[in-house]
Amino acid sequence: MPVDDRILRRLKLSDLRLFQAVVERGGMAKAALHLNISQPAVSKAIAALEATLRVRLLDRNPQGVEPTVYGRALLDGGVAVFDELIKSVKQIDYLTDPSTGEVRIGCTEPGAAGFVPALVAQLSESYPRAVFRVTTADPVTLVAQELPQRKIELAIGAVPNSILNTEIESAFLFEDRHFVMAGERNKWVRRRKIKLAELVGEPWFLPPPESPMGLSISESFRRYGVEPPHSQVTSFSIPLCHHLLATGRFLTMHPVVMARLGNYLPLKRLDVDFVGLRRAVRIVTLRNRTLSPLAQVVIDCAREMAKSLAKSSHER
């Protein structure tokens, strides 16, 4: 179907917003209640939209309605339109007062326990009226869902090359290393010159084995001629990990930067014959997406912090 001026003139932002409300709430009655308009008005607007585009946008089922393939295409485009519009309005507000603004940051669980809190603490002091919305997720979710769906503007974390694609812009920040760590009460803390094979039978807390981090840990054990341990607890949750480490029973692989910047954590690096698992910490953004001014400030500050980390590492 050719897109002519007639169709573009008939499409309105209010119709796209109404259509989005119907899909999100699964029905026209619920959308009408949410938008504080009558259900016939909603039905009429949807019918007009379908007539303009000459395709069916919604299928009805016992639970309500769901978008057709055409409706999903319209919805995806509408999300991008509203995201850009909201960002434009916020950017104008930011430009009138550089100390205000909002930025949506994604990060991994380890990042949320070390680098990102230090970054936000520094920025929030310089920009006390700025708002920082932080979402934590695994690298795959950040790259495959949160960024493309525009739920975040940027993500910070150990993102492997294997999950990057042509839609993602990636910039190296610093190299972090994961070492074997335990709580202060763990019996291995007092031991010296430990062989990695000695620890395989201990209770471990590790990320899911099929995740990028889990696969990297398994590979690092095998490089030392040791089969990876069967973790007693599998999770990405850092708070859960730290609670279990505090019992003195569990071991884990933790990044050094998290242990250094999260100085409230009672973690000890074990003296294991292991050079550490190298991980590149990156900033990732959606390619060709214009970032808000505050997001650019976050990126600049993150780069400066990364330089300081690299310098302090060399001085040690």
- What domains appear along the chain, each with residue ranges and CATH number? 5-78 (1.10.10.10), 99-316 (3.40.190.290)
| Residue 6: pLDDT band with limits 50, 70, 90 | low
In this predicted structure, what is the pLDDT of residue 315?
47
**pLDDT exceeds cutoff 60 at 2:** no
Whole-number Å distance between alpha carbons of 199 and 108: 26
Lowest mean pLDDT among 77-91, 151-165, 274-288: 77-91
Lowest mean pLDDT among 90-99, 109-118, 276-285, 286-295: 90-99
In this predicted structure, what is the pLDDT of residue 1?
45
What pLDDT digit, counting tens, does each position of 202-258 carry? Answer: 999 999 998 888 999 999 999 999 999 989 999 989 889 989 999 999 999 988 887
In this predicted structure, what is the pLDDT of residue 232?
94
In this predicted structure, what is the pLDDT of residue 94?
63
- Output the six-digit token pair for 66: 């769901």
DSSP E strands in 95-147: the ranges are 100-107, 129-136
In this predicted structure, what is the pLDDT of residue 58?
87
Higher pLDDT, 122 or 51: 122
**pLDDT exceeds cutoff 70 at 49:** yes
Whole-number Å distance between alpha carbons of 156 and 125: 20
Higher pLDDT, 10 or 34: 34
In this predicted structure, what is the pLDDT of residue 190?
93
In this predicted structure, what is the pLDDT of residue 86?
76
Q: How many CB atoms lie within 10 A of CB 238?
A: 22
**pLDDT exceeds cutoff 80 at 120:** yes
Neighbour-count burial of 116, counting CB atoms closer than 10 A to its CB (0-12 exposed, 13-18 middle, 19+ buried):
buried
By the 8 A CB rule, do 164 and 143 touch?
yes
| Residue 265: pLDDT band with limits 50, 70, 90 | low
Whole-number Å distance between alpha carbons of 86 and 222: 49
